Structure 1
Amino acid sequence: MLSFSLDKIILLPLCAQFSTTTTGLACNAGKKIIRSTKLEKVACKYTCCYYDNKRFIEAHTELLL
């Protein structure tokens, strides 16, 4: 990632549920890497849990029907 000119970083663990041992650990590791490199000046967005997101549920419902 250091070799690209990034405008934004989005941390998106692909776990639908939140767990400190999966989602929390992945995002904390990502944040630590960003802080310890030149990436700390790049805007960073953290997306945690989406299991209760209406669009996520609708998309899965459509796949099941």
Structure 2
Amino acid sequence: MLLVLHPAWTISASKGDCGATKAEAALVVSGAAALAILVQAMLRAGLAVRRRRAAARHGPNETRKRESD
């Protein structure tokens, strides 16, 4: 989805500013995409740590039972 909406595909370089707007928009969108991927990775890592701590506290059977509810 990010590639479809990327300015490289959606903004024309043939008008007026020789592609400067396209280049600046591409940097902004690429930065936002990288930030979104980083946030997702951090959230997944945090969830994995929480699951490991819960399993250590309650045992693996208790954690599985809660996930199935």
> Which of the five TM-score ranges fits, normalised by the shorter chain?
0.3 to 0.5
- Normalized against structure 1, the TM-score is what? 0.36
If asked which structure has higher relative contact order (CA below 8 Å, sep 6+), I would say: 1
Structure number with higher helix proportion:
2
- Normalized against structure 2, the TM-score is what? 0.35
